[in-house]
Structure 1
Amino acid sequence: MFFELKDFCIDLAESKDSDEIAEVYNSNKQFLKSHMNRERVTNEWILQELESMKEAGFYPCKIVETMSGKIIGIIDFKAGEEAYLSLLMIKDDLKGKGIGKLIFQSFEKYARSQKSKCIRIDVVTDYDNSVLDFWINNGFVKIEDIKLNWTEKTLPAVIMRKYL
């Protein structure tokens, strides 16, 4: 386990988690359409994504609600002097309840414990303004406009950093 909160724990995702992780992705229909030109992802896609994240040095993790044991989100990150938060996604029906903020705050504590000096995120800018606002409200500043290539699609994005 990487870190835990009162009601959630964050642990490395395994192949046996692919069904529940696909549910998290597939509940976020606007994300899938905007980022991937898809309606759904398959278990096979999830398994490939977990493997490619590991190969790139990331920790693909599941966010588990401790009471139910259900996966309610995912978080992919790299530790290091600059921690790199690649993805934080919560099931769509749980958004707006403060869970994402709690998970991020716990991730920030984890990054500090790993002696990270800052956290980097890349935020797609033509997707949902509330996402950019979320990161700004959590102390991130815009560093640079970039083009992000993911799943054979080029997306306008911004590199953001929060210094710890």
Structure 2
Amino acid sequence: MMLKSDNLLITEISEEDSSEILEIYNSNKRFLVTHLDKSKLDQDWLIEELEKMRKMNYKTFKIIELSSNRVIGFIDLKLHEESYLSLLMIHNSYKSKGYGKEAYALLEEHFRNEKVRNVRIDVVYDYDNSVMQFWVDRGFNKVKNIQLQWDDQYLGAAMMKKAL
């Protein structure tokens, strides 16, 4: 998959992208503490996480800002008739500039072209209210409350879906 807009390029990551993906994770300190109970991640954690995701048929894509040719975010997803968007993360320095909205718009266009019928996301409670609002603004609706497990953490979350 390769998606492009005037500002962004979304394409599958390669091994050479791991340091940039790690930097994006580590730029989001509040996310790390809330979701993983860690203040910083290392390369070993990232390699293990990416391998776990691959084994579960997830793909990871980098988000490149075209004007700087810099990786500013990444996406983890599983593409099916009901696709699961596990994570869309933007580097903290690039937040609130519309990149998340633009990246999701590109993804949704791709989903529609691939005949995806529904998109599911899980939004962790007690993290950041603006994240929930971001997804509501994209047309997602809460389906139910769930317990989400990531590493050793169990997190209360809202399962949200959007019909396409």
Give the aligned partner of residue 101 of structure 2: 101
The farther-off stretch of 10-19 and 108-117 is 10-19
- C-alpha displacement of 1:2: 2.6
Give the aligned partner of residue 10 of structure 2: 10
* 1:46-74 residue CA offsets vs partner (Å, 9 max, x unmatched): 11111111111111111112232211001
TM-score (norm 2): 0.96
Alpha-carbon RMSD across the aligned residues, in angstroms, is: 1.0
Distance 1:40 1:95 in 2: 19
Structure 1's consecutive aligned runs of 4 or more residues displaced over 3 angstroms after TM superposition are: none
Structure 1 unaligned regions, length at least 5: none
Contact 1:24 1:72 in 2 (8 A): yes
Give the aligned partner of residue 36 of structure 1: 36
SS in 1 for 2:100: helix
Distance 2:83 2:163 in 1: 10
Q: Among all aligned residue pairs of Structure 1 and Structure 2, give the percentage whose two residues are the same amino acid.
A: 43
Give the aligned partner of residue 128 of structure 2: 128
- C-alpha displacement of 1:43: 1.4
SS in 2 for 1:23: helix
What does 1:132-147 correspond to in 2, within 5 Å?
Answer: 132-147=132-147
Distance 2:55 2:155 in 1: 22
Distance 1:51 1:114 in 2: 25
The alignment of Structure 1 onto Structure 2 pairs a total of residues equal to: 164
Distance 2:67 2:45 in 1: 28
Distance 2:111 2:149 in 1: 26
Give the aligned partner of residue 63 of structure 2: 63
TM-score (norm 1): 0.96
1:92 aligns with 2:92: yes
